[in-house]
């Protein structure tokens, strides 16, 4: 249950080692900040991003920084849990499920809220979006429905519970049937101009980045979207309808300037803050801190009611 306590120190926890940092005593809310500072992500620096974020948050909150596979033991010591760059959950799915059960039983608030319908549950939502005719790369999970995808020289096979391109394969149409398609999705390989990501906080657009060179996904630059671009991304934010949190809409732009959704990251999207200008990065952090405070005020209000 949300609460405020008088705390004269903050904690950090990395791989089970707990340290104590003393500072001047004053009343602060406490945050359990979950991140894997050891996970090596291609083209992304998890430690750098989370160390930057926590350097900003520590001015406003007491922080307990913890590895995702050691979080259960610390749930009760915080007022709010923030899941950030915690790596692909498929590597610790059983522990993560237990962690969520503990969080739900304790009525602890978690940021992001765990009511999303997209990547936090795997890639199956791409089937639903295809069936509902959203602007998404057509997706099936039954080879008998291959005609739905149209004609393409190559197809992408990806695990329903995959993440970070783990298990993804590009194959010729004639070779699809040679692969084990159990719990796999099938998509056509769509030629595109570039990829872009649209970042949202509590349903509000924050910034966008794109990769001018489609062979270098994480070499990003700031992208200024127009109204049409934002209307595209907003469709998926509205569909997901999360109570609160950070979401990233990943899309590819086609030759005709239209967009198709690649995926909707709604659990722990990497933010690529190092690609932003100092002004835009500062604005995002101010909005993030404000969103955290608003969430805590909402929880306290509900408790009093």
pLDDT tens digit sequence for 217-257: 999 999 999 999 999 999 999 999 999 999 999 999 999 99
Residues 207 and 299 in one domain: no
132 in any annotated domain: no
Report whether pLDDT(180) > 90.
no
121 in any annotated domain: no
Total tally of structural domains belonging to the chain: 3
Residues 105 and 150 in one domain: no
Domain extent, residue 151, equals 138-188
236 in any annotated domain: yes
Average pLDDT over residues 47-56: 97
128 in any annotated domain: no
Residues 71 and 150 in one domain: no
Residues 175 and 198 in one domain: no
Residues 199 and 183 in one domain: no
57 in any annotated domain: yes
d(CA 71, CA 46): 18
**What is the residue whose two structure tokens read 């809409």?**
249
Q: What is the CATH number of the domain that holds 233?
A: 3.30.470.20
Residues 30 and 90 in one domain: yes
Residues 289 and 198 in one domain: no
208 in any annotated domain: yes
Report whether pLDDT(303) > 70.
no
> Could you give the residue ranges of the DSSP H alpha helices within 46-176?
46-57, 93-106, 125-131
**Ramachandran class of 165: left when φ > 0, alpha when ψ lies in -120 to 50, beta otherwise:** left
d(CA 217, CA 225): 18
């Amino acid at each position: 249950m949300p609460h405020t306590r008088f705390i004269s120190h903050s904690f950090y926890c990395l791989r089970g080692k707990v340290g104590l940092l003393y500072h001047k005593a004053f009343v602060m809310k406490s945050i359990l900040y979950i991140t894997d500072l050891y996970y090596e992500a291609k083209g992304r620096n998890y430690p750098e991003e989370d160390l930057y974020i926590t350097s900003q948050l520590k001015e406003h909150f007491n922080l307990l920084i913890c590895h995702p596979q050691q979080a259960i033991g610390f749930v009760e010591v915080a007022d709010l849990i923030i899941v950030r760059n915690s790596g692909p959950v498929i590597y610790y799915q059983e522990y993560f499920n237990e962690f969520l059960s503990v969080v739900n039983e304790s009525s602890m608030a978690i940021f992001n809220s765990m009511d999303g319908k997209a990547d936090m549950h795997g890639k199956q939502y791409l089937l639903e979006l295809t069936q509902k005719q959203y602007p998404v790369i057509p997706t099936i999970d039954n080879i008998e429905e291959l005609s739905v995808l149209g004609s393409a020289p190559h197809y992408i096979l990806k695990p329903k519970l995959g993440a970070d391109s783990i298990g993804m394969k590009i194959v010729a149409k004639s070779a699809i049937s040679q692969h084990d398609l159990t719990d796999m999705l099938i998509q056509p390989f769509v030629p595109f101009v570039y990829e872009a990501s649209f970042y949202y906080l509590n349903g509000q657009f924050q910034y966008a980045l794109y990769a001018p060179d489609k062979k270098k996904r994480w070499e990003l630059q700031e992208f200024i979207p127009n109204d049409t671009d934002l209307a595209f991304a907003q469709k998926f934010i509205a569909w997901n309808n999360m109570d609160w949190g950070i979401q990233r809409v990943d899309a590819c732009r086609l030759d005709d300037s239209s967009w198709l959704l690649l995926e909707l990251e709604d659990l722990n999207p990497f933010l690529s803050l190092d690609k932003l200008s100092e002004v835009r990065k500062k604005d995002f952090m101010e909005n993030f801190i404000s969103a955290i405070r608003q969430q805590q005020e909402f929880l306290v209000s509900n408790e009093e009611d």
